[in-house]
A and B are shown apart, each in its own frame.
Chain A
Amino acid sequence: MTQPTALPAPPPPVSVPPTAPGDPRISRVVLSRFLRHRLAVASLIVLVLLAVCCFGAAWIAPYPRNAQNLLEASQPPSGTHWLGTDSIGRDYLSEMFYAGQLSLAIGLGVALLATLVGTAAGAVAGYLGGWPDEVIMRVADLFLIVPPVAVLAVSLQGLGPSPLTIVVVLSGLGWTLIARVVRSRVIQLRHQEFVEAARVIGASGPRIVVRHLLPNLTGLIVVNVSLSVAMAIILESTVSFLGYGVQPPKSSWGNMLTQAAGLIGTSQSYLLYVPGLAILVTVLAVNFLGDGLRDALDPRGRQR
């Protein structure tokens, strides 16, 4: 990052902006505002339960991973197999938990990586302006033209569909959204008094961005993380469904749906509903959580 202001002074202690998350009074206000958002709290509980079930599958799931029992293949739900078994005799509930590991991990990974890259790019573009701004935003424009599923399929075809490349490629798509939002907010803020003040006392460019501008964007960034998780989970399941995403023997909710799609019209068509509902519930909960966090973190929010 270059330094736009060249004031040769040592970085003095600078007052933390009024909305910094470290302030104990502020975090108490945020917490109490969040707790009043009942739907968001319920969503948080649902998400925690899902995460515990999926990532604790080794202890919680009733059967071990990929445990096949061909004698019990294609059974309807029963006391021993709560969701029945698939065509090679695996317990469907256990498979759901194990598949959820990958779906949730990809969703979270994409959200964090995309937000990190997008925030950095947006902040640099907005704060520096000029040619860095021009270059970054033109690259972001490129992604507007081509449909996301097409970008995903081409790049996963080329790079190979390991979970890590899926995360990288999905983040490569997702960063543009947050970059635009962060950029426009930084442009609004960069000439406000507290930024000018920081510059006058000699704070460096990176320090102004990290300590003064970004804390003001906390709400925006947190909401974007939740939006990206939702988007990533849906996109992952979509590309896995098309055959370019997670490949069997690995499983995610998306490729469980691919297999269940072949069961349409058979007595086992109910297996179609389970992974789809898991995706639906996760995305819904993440969206509600995002709404709650936005209301809680928005510094100009109403004191309800």
Chain B
Amino acid sequence: MTRYALRRLLASVPVVCVASFILFWAVRATFDPLAKLRQSVDPTGLRRETVRLGLDRSLPEQYLLWVKGFVQGDWGTSTRTGGTVLPMVGDALGTTLQLVLWGVALAVVLALAIGLYSAARQYSAGDHVLTGLSYLGVAMPAFWFGLVLIQVLAVWPKQQFGLADPPLYFVGLHSVGHGGFDLDYLRHLVLPVVTLTVGLVASWSRFGRATLLEALSSDYVRTARAKGVPRRRILLRHALRNALAPFVTVVAMDTAALVGGLVVTEQIYSIPGMGKLFLASLETGDVFVLLPWMFVVAVAVILFNLLADLSYALLDPRVALR
């Protein structure tokens, strides 16, 4: 299994290289990182910076220079803020991972609960209601749902009841002067986590229902029924265990997409994570932040996809990885 994992990781190296070069080329072709400097009165500054950043060389050369620095741990400085890139990306990743962690945990619990209920009571009134809701959840644009939540759960109660501050915050993850895990953090967390959870719960619960139903119609479940195993035990020990392998795979793959995919959620709630960093860097053509950003996101996607395959093999002993 270790050999399989290593081979998969090696195979993804060229893909990451090609993707990062395309991004490098696309951003450099459309942006001038020295735009600010061109208006400066000091005529030597432009020349100096051009040479210092290596912008006088050809694009492939510049790219290779960047890769060299990147591998050595020198991720360069942001042309937007002037700060070093490594801690910038690190902080953003930490913030985004908090959202991902809470969101995925909540979504998995809800999706499994809904899936189990719907599969146990297929075509009941409750199943129909949940199916309808999941259609809504899939069809809803996430950013619109987020805006509606802000209006209905934060702004409206504040205005209606004349509160000093809204019951749930919608800017950032901490108030000024707060930090760590406290009530303030939770009040900031609820809205963004719910926003990102809705779509996940909708699609994961559909998927869970389908795989559970497939397991419930199999021969081993019929055998268990014939032996007189109680319904609850059949559902949890026989059906759920077998449905878990594909479910975990889907969860891991969707989670991978979240690391760089929370652009809209972070924008709405002004959370300084990877998505916000991407937008801010793109607006200013900050290629030295965009490249590491893409690299981190790509690595996250590759790792989570690998995790998906490995967990499938662990949960389903019939699958052998070669």
Contacts and interface: CB of A to CB of B under 8 A. Distances in A.
Interface residues on B, range: 35 or more
B29 interface: yes
A138 interface: yes
A173 interface: no
A150 interface: yes
B148 to A, nearest CB: 6
A257 B29 contact: no
Contacts of A279: 141, 144
Contacts, number: 108
Interface stretch (B14-22, B84-92, B235-243): B14-22
A128 interface: no
A141 interface: yes
A148 B297 CA distance: 12
Contacts of B30: 154, 157-158
A234 to B, nearest CB: 5
Nearest to B257: A147
Contacts of A58: none
Which secondary structure characterizes the binding site on chain A?
Answer: helix
Given A234-B141, A241-B143, A265 B159 contact: yes
A87 interface: no
B194 interface: no
A265 B170 CA distance: 13
Nearest to A145: B298
Contacts of B155: 264-265, 269
A261 interface: yes
Interface stretch (B38-46, B53-61, B259-267, B312-320): B259-267
A284 interface: yes
A238 B139 contact: no
Interface string A226-249: 000010001001100110000000
A276 B144 contact: yes
Interface residues on A, range: 35 or more
Contacts of B294: 146, 150
Interface in B252-296: 257, 260-261, 263-264, 267, 275, 278-279, 282, 294
Among B151, B261, B294, B302, the one with the most A-chain Cβ atoms within 10 Å of its Cβ is: B151
A272 B148 contact: yes
Contact of B301 (A145, A238, A260): A145
Contacts of A287: 135, 138-139
Which secondary structure characterizes the binding site on chain B?
Answer: helix
A150 B260 contact: yes
A149 interface: yes
B14 to A, nearest CB: 9
Contacts of A141: 15
Contact of A241 (B23, B139, B264): B264
A296 B29 CA distance: 48
A111 to B, nearest CB: 16
A51 interface: no
A237 B147 CA distance: 13
Interface string A257-288: 10011001100010011011001100110011
B34 to A, nearest CB: 18
Interface in A123-160: 138, 141-142, 144-150, 153-155, 157-158
A269 B151 contact: yes
B150 A284 contact: no
Nearest to B294: A146
A246 to B, nearest CB: 14
Contact of B147 (A157, A230, A257, A284): A257
Given A142-B15, A142-B18, A145-B15, A242 B150 contact: no
28 contacts: A145-B15, A145-B298, A145-B301, A146-B19, A146-B297, A147-B257, A149-B261, A150-B263, A153-B263, A154-B27, A158-B30, A238-B141, A242-B263, A260-B147, A264-B151, A269-B151, A269-B155, A272-B151, A276-B140, A276-B141, A279-B141, A280-B136, A280-B139, A280-B140, A283-B140, A284-B135, A284-B136, A288-B135
Top 10 A-B residue pairs of the complex, sorted by shortest distance between their CB atoms: A276-B144, A158-B30, A283-B139, A147-B260, A265-B155, A147-B261, A284-B139, A145-B298, A149-B263, A264-B151
Given A147-B257, A158-B30, 15 more contacts: A145-B297, A146-B23, A146-B297, A148-B261, A149-B263, A149-B275, A153-B282, A155-B26, A238-B141, A257-B147, A264-B147, A264-B155, A265-B155, A279-B144, A280-B140
